[in-house]
């Protein structure tokens, strides 16, 4: 067993090894997407979560299969962490019929309801009220599931944030609000947009707990989220978790990142969440250097295979244009 850190009781050594590979899946997926957009092979836009892998993986790791999540425009990591098939994800971005939305939704609209992923959202803060609605459903129908609601620091200044969390609070809904504070909303530094030290401090205004975790430390994320999930599952209402992290890439594909320094980027890259988990697993004797490298290569191969799957899948025909418009 792990000796140097505390873990949630459901997280085994085997689960930690799986999470290490999953984090590489998330990184390789987004790095390939970045490459394809640069080459003009994928159209539209995308928002990448390279550098933020621990917040998605750690948060979803403590969930039960029946639990739900709502995601954001930067949602590929959430999808993979909740068990999505990378083949279907890649096909969706390539606009192919084998994608999650049959190639019609693209990067910001992937959903996998069977796995509990209620969908990404192109509207900043748009997933927050949806999570509260799902939480209300769980409570009224006594279905016993918890909802994780991912959003960014920019969304914490939207009206939907305040309105939805207020309702979740007064109704004691089983929702855990996870703010992935990657330091920038588009090109605006969180230091210039929020006049408090921690976004989680806003929880006090709604009479619910707020907790800050190191968003680049998957162990800290798991422990913080697990406590909040158990609280929600036991009928004690919502919690706000703020995971402080950093996006290595720009806000979207067209962002040159001129608003931040190379020194700042270097400082955060040295806090690489995947490297931190790798070191822990090797130090604890759970992985060897060779096995860690093997898992990394397996993840890379899985993403390469998803690319071939997407490229070899058919494009939608014009006859399908008006299909799947209504549920």
The pLDDT tens digits for 81-106 are 999 999 999 999 999 999 999 999 99
For residue 4, the model assigns a pLDDT of 87
Fold of 13-311: Rossmann fold (3.40.50)
Which has the minimum average pLDDT: 15-24, 252-261, 302-311? 252-261
For residue 183, the model assigns a pLDDT of 96
For residue 209, the model assigns a pLDDT of 98
For residue 177, the model assigns a pLDDT of 98
Q: Residue 325 and residue 43: Cα distance in Å, rounded?
A: 21
Largest CA distance in the chain: 59
The pLDDT tens digits for 179-225 are 999 999 999 999 999 999 999 999 999 999 999 999 999 999 999 99
Q: Residue 36 and residue 90: Cα distance in Å, rounded?
A: 11
The pLDDT tens digits for 112-169 are 999 999 999 999 999 999 999 999 999 999 999 999 999 999 999 999 999 999 999 9
pTM of the predicted structure, to 2 decimals = 0.96
DSSP string, 88-151: HHHHHHTT-TTSTTTTSS-GGG--BGGGTB----SSTTTHHHHHHHHHHHHHHTT----EEEEE
The pLDDT tens digits for 36-67 are 999 999 988 999 999 999 999 999 999 999 99
For residue 204, the model assigns a pLDDT of 98
């Amino acid at each position: 067993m792990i000796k140097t850190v505390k873990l949630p009781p459901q997280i085994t050594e085997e689960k930690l090894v799986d999470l290490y590979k999953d984090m590489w899946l998330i990184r390789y997926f987004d790095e390939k997407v970045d490459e394809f957009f640069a080459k003009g092979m994928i159209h539209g836009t995308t928002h990448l979560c390279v550098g933020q892998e621990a917040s998605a993986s750690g948060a979803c790791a403590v969930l039960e299969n029946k639990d739900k999540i709502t995601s954001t425009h930067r949602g590929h990591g959430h999808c993979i962490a909740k068990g999505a098939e990378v083949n279907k994800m890649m096909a969706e971005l390539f606009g192919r019929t084998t994608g999650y939305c049959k190639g019609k939704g693209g990067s910001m609209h992937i959903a996998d309801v069977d796995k509990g992923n209620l969908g990404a959202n192109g509207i900043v803060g748009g997933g927050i009220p949806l999570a509260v609605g799902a939480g209300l459903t769980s409570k009224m129908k006594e279905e016993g599931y918890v909802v994780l609601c991912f959003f960014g620091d920019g969304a914490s200044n939207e009206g939907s944030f305040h309105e939805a969390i207020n309702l979740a609070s007064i109704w004691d809904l089983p929702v855990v609000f996870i703010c992935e504070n990657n330091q920038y909303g588009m090109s605006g530094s969180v230091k210039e947009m929020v006049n408090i030290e921690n976004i989680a401090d806003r929880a006090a205004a709604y009479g619910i707990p707020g907790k800050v975790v190191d968003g680049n430390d998957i162990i800290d994320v798991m422990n913080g989220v697990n406590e909040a999930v158990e609280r929600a599952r036991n009928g004690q209402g919502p919690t706000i978790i703020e995971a402080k992290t950093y996006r290595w890439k720009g806000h979207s594909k067209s962002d040159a990142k001129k608003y931040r320094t190379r020194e700042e980027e270097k400082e955060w890259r040295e806090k690489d969440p995947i490297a931190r988990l790798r070191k822990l697993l090797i130090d604890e004797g759970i992985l060897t250097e060779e096995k860690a490298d093997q898992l990394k290569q397996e993840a890379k191969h899985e993403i390469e295979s998803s690319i071939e799957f997407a490229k070899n899948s058919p494009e939608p025909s014009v006859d399908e244009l008006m299909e799947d418009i209504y549920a």
